[in-house]
Amino acid sequence: MGFYAPENFTSQAEIELAKSDRLLQPIWDWVINGREDILRSPLFPPFYALSIDYSFVLIFTIIDLFFADVPFFKKYKIQSDRKVTWDLAKKSLWLQLWNQLLWIYPMALVQLLWVPPTPLPPVAPTMWEFCSQLLIFFLMFDFGYFVFHVVHHRVKFLYRWCHSVHHMYSSPFTAAAQHLHPFELFVVSLMVTCIPWLFPTHCLTYWAWFFIAQAVSYEVHTGYDFPFALHHFIPIYSGAPAHDMHHMRPLTCFEPWLNYLDRIFGYHITYEDLKKMKDKRYGLYSKETETGLQKIN
Ligand SMILES: [Zn+2]
Ligand SMILES: [Zn+2]
């Protein structure tokens, strides 16, 4: 079997042999057991993705609105002078609702018409295939969005027309992660959905990728530098402090999830770097570029 070669089992005996060999088989069996009709439906991926969205937004909006003064959360809030209010969150939730009604739900229904039911293979992916594909998807999205992001900051027309919507918030919070212009939402959704289509991807890997892509996107927007967050253990991972910096100083820290490209191109800065800088407007747009753009916080 090649690295990404699709598996073709010729007999039930071969299937049983492969099943006994796979570390992920018990998880895969548990996932599909009794849920085959739901999982096969073309409506499952969009509604699964939306349920991840709603869970993150709900949990962190409750934390932001009702538990922000709890010492644990207060201690790790990055922009400690900024508070998330219902008025702030409401504006973002309202835009997301419109984006979903006008774009996401109709696209889900279109999928119902032209996407065939998802085949559920009896055998789980190998651990190597599962992990290596997730890593490749992660690196591809991170690189692709970095290019999109830099272009949408450097080309003034694109910034003003599209990406400035996301920059209405200079202090991010979880509910603001999806505060996007419909075009940006389309591009991001397309990348997350289609990158795994470039490979023969097992649906377990595909669904795990959806969860990772959304969890990481929400994590960098939480506005909290939790001590257990990945960037404390993996220096190449940017995490919430870097993306918070990007919202505060939009011409810095462009890479969405990692930071090796930001470091190569000199875009990566930390709060300590910023404090030492003589240029008090470092990383900010000129007033002229921002003229007329709406700011929420
Ligand atoms: Zn952001
Ligand atoms: Zn940006």
Cα separation of 77 and 64, whole Å?
A: 10
DSSP class per residue in 59-84: HHHHHHHHSTTSHHHHHHBSSTT---
Q: Domain for residue 273, yes or no?
A: yes
CA atoms within 13 A on the CB side of 8: 3
pTM, full prediction: 0.92
Cα separation of 121 and 31, whole Å?
A: 12
Q: Domain for residue 131, yes or no?
A: yes
- 49 CA to centre of ligand 2 in angstroms: 23
- 153 CA to centre of ligand 2 in angstroms: 6
Give the count of domains, the chain: 1
Q: Domain for residue 90, yes or no?
A: yes
One pLDDT digit (tens) per residue for the chain, 297 residues: 334 445 667 788 888 888 888 999 999 999 999 999 999 998 898 889 999 999 999 999 999 999 999 999 999 999 988 888 898 888 889 988 898 888 888 888 887 888 888 889 999 999 999 999 999 999 999 999 999 999 999 999 999 999 999 999 999 999 889 899 999 999 999 999 999 999 999 999 999 999 999 999 999 999 999 999 999 999 999 999 999 999 999 999 999 999 999 999 999 999 989 888 888 899 999 988 888 888 888
Burial of 135 (0-12, 13-18, 19+ CB in 10 A): exposed
- 174 CA to centre of ligand 2 in angstroms: 15
- 235 CA to centre of ligand 2 in angstroms: 21
Residue 164: both structure tokens together: 């400035």
Asked whether the beta carbons of 172 and 247 are under 8 A apart, the reply is yes
Q: Domain for residue 8, yes or no?
A: no
Q: Domain for residue 41, yes or no?
A: yes
Q: Domain for residue 13, yes or no?
A: no
Asked whether the beta carbons of 119 and 8 are under 8 A apart, the reply is no
With the CA atoms of 202, 207, 209 and 211 taken in that order, what torsion angle do they form, in degrees rounded to the nearest 10? -170
- 162 CA to centre of ligand 2 in angstroms: 10
Q: Domain for residue 187, yes or no?
A: yes
For 156, the domain range is 24-290
Q: Domain for residue 296, yes or no?
A: no
- 162 CA to centre of ligand 1 in angstroms: 13
